[in-house]
């Protein structure tokens, strides 16, 4: 592999919630993400997937190990590493276009220029006629696309998404997956997607990183060796699905067993 876009070495995180006992969310997590790679995080609930994304984004500090982007240690947030949440989190007081232009205006891009850039990006995500709409006038899927546009406007080299489609209905979800593949190809960014959906993982990923239950570590990394678009009728597709289902069931069982012995 050429130099990784992102490299995690022994990354650990222990939460110290006030008045409660510490929670070891992640322990010695190792991972390299290649430039332009599509990685999916799959793991039982509470195993630290969101925590890891926040640390890669620079929003939370690690309590051990190092995160590097293109060889530089991550210490603070940067628009180089975009993050998209389950809720679109668009600012309700800005129009869609102004939301997308927000980061550009922070960077000091002039109003006329950033207006054009925002319009371009919104057109490319199919929201060309929504520029002057308020966020709450858009459907959930459209809002999530606008949130992608906002992140893409900063030309990130890594785009992270924390269960971005979990709140959407099944049809919209399928559309959004196509959409995601399209922006992935166009932007050439590496993508890290957190999901609970095994289907989503098999349909989208170059590699699927399966987490152990808490404390989260890499249980196994599975490259998906299927052409795109993924042949959902292919027996191999189903083999992958069954494999992930088993891996996850293992971890969930382990988590439950642990809770009972406590």
List of residues contacting ligand ATP (CB under 6 A): 15, 17, 23, 25, 43, 45-51, 214
Q: Which does 15 bind (CB under 5 to 8 A by kind): Mg ion, another protein, ligand ATP, none?
A: ligand ATP
Toward ligand ATP, which CB reaches closer, 52 or 153? Answer: 52
127, HSE (Cβ side, Cα atoms, 13 Å): 31
Residue 155 or 254 with smaller CB distance to another protein: 155
What token pair was written down for 97?
């276009």
Give 124's DSSP letter.
H
Query: What are the phi and psi torsion angles at 171 (to 5°)?
Result: -65, -50
Please list, in sequence order, all residues whose beta carbon lies within 8 angstroms of the beta carbon of residue 102, skipping any fewer than 6 positions away: 91, 94, 150
Binding mask 50-89 for another protein (x = CB under 8 A): -------xxx----------------xxxx-xxx-x-x-x
Pick out residues in 11-30 that bind Mg ion (CB under 5 A): none
- Out of 12, 50, 99, 144, which residue is the one contacting Mg ion (CB under 5 A)? 50
CA 102 to centroid of chain Cα atoms: 21
How many angstroms separate the CA atoms of 207 and 217, rounded? 16
Rounded to the nearest angstrom, the gap between the alpha carbon of residue 93 and the centroid of all alpha carbons in its chain is 25
Dihedral sign for Cα 51, 74, 182, 31, please.
negative
43-51, 131-139, 141-149, 167-175 -> range binding Mg ion (CB under 5 A): 43-51
Which of the ranges 47-55, 93-101, 127-135, 180-188 carries the binding residues for Mg ion, by CB under 5 A? 47-55
- Of the listed pieces 15-23, 48-56, 63-71, 90-98, which binds Mg ion according to CB under 5 A? 48-56
Residue 64 interacts, among Mg ion, another protein, ligand ATP, none and using kind-specific CB cut-offs from 5 to 8 Å, with none
CB nearer another protein, residue 28 or residue 60: 60
Whole-number Å distance between alpha carbons of 31 and 13: 15
β-bridge mates for residue 67, sequence order: 8
Residue numbers 103-122 binding another protein by CB under 8 A: 103, 106-107
């Amino acid at each position: 592999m050429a130099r990784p876009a992102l490299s995690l070495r022994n990354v650990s995180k222990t939460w110290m919630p006030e008045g409660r006992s510490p929670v070891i969310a992640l322990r010695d997590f190792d991972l390299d993400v290649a430039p332009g790679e599509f990685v999916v995080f799959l793991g039982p609930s509470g195993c630290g997937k969101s925590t890891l994304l926040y640390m890669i984004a620079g929003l939370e500090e690690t309590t051990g190990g190092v995160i590097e982007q293109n060889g530089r240690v991550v210490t603070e947030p940067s628009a180089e590493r975009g993050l998209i949440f389950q809720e679109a989190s668009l600012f309700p007081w800005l129009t869609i276009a102004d939301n997308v232009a927000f980061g550009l205006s922070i960077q000091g891009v002039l109003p006329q220029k950033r207006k054009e850039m925002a319009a371009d990006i919104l057109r490319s995500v199919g929201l060309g006629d929504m520029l002057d709409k308020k966020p709450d006038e858009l459907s959930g899927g459209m809002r999530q696309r606008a949130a992608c546009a906002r992140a893409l406007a900063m030309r990130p080299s890594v785009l992270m998404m924390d269960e971005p489609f979990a709140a959407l209905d099944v049809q919209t979800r399928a559309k959004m997956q196509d959409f995601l593949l399209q922006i992935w190809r166009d932007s050439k960014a590496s993508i890290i997607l957190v999901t609970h959906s095994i289907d989503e993982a098999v349909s989208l990923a170059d590699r699927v990183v399966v987490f152990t239950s808490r404390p989260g570590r890499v249980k196994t990394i599975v490259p998906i060796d299927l052409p795109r678009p993924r042949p959902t009728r292919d027996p191999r597709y189903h083999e992958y699905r069954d494999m992930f289902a088993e891996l996850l069931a293992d971890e969930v069982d382990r988590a439950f067993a642990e809770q009972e012995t406590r």
